[in-house]
Amino acid sequence: MKKGEMTILKEIKEVKWTKIIMFYGIILIGTFFARKLPNLINLLLKQVTDIPFSFNYNHGFVALVVALLFYKFGREKQEITLLGNKKFKSILFPIVLFVCYSIYGMKNNYGVDKHLWAFVICAFAFIYNLMEEYAWRGYLIEGLGKVSFVLKSIISGIFWGVWHLLIFNNFDQYGGFWIFLVFCLVFSFILTFAVTRTKSIIVAGSIHAFIIQTNIVALICFMIFIILLLTWNKKINNNAQTINISSV
């Protein structure tokens, strides 16, 4: 057996799989029953607007609550937090998301200004994605311990993708479940890299939310996000140069 294979097996054996499986199992069971309930966020929105929003937060609440409970009663040291290791830089991510989409706007059939509509849709998507990311790139990533970045990305991506079998009626818009699963795996690498580097759920939630639409705005957001991530630990040093002028 090669040294690399031995290292991977050692990493896998060191994971507390009982806790990880319990965490995932509770989310799956909770999601199954949550999807049977009425759409709670829509019931609330019907009290204030006639616009039929399609957002369903039921399963997002399950993922968030389970993650918070495992953080609360687990023994793992929580390093991935809402704002991460650089609070100001973390806040830049949702600012980029909201500003870019709000300026561009989103068309709708409800007579709402397209710029305001874009802001509202971003808000709903961002809040929901924070719930998901607390589970899949929060507790799960930290619960896997010292497993390598690659394995964390793969495990998180598979868990995340399979979980959607309880959420979507079909995967036709993605070309089938297996294509969707590949998308989850690829995107999981990006999100895992983001939380590993920033320790911020807000960063992961913003990156998760930028694919509200597949257009030029999504591309702009993605490029800015990548630049922010790659320059995360860079510091701008403004060293004033002293010019000595000698009098004759």
The mean pLDDT of the chain is 89
Residue 148, classed as helix, strand or coil, is: coil
Least confident of 10-19, 121-130, 136-145: 10-19
Q: pLDDT tens-digit profile of 130-143?
A: 999 999 999 999 99
- The answer to whether residue 117 scores a pLDDT higher than 90 is yes
pTM of the full predicted structure?
0.88
Kindly state the percentage of the chain with pLDDT values over 90. Answer: 74
Cα distance between residue 153 and residue 155, in whole Å = 6
DSSP state letter for 144 = T
Cα distance between residue 237 and residue 225, in whole Å = 22
Show the tokens assigned to 119: 């802001």
Cα distance between residue 158 and residue 161, in whole Å = 5
Do the Cβ atoms of 124 and 109 come closer than 8 Å?
Answer: no
Q: Which residue has the tokens 């090669």?
A: 2
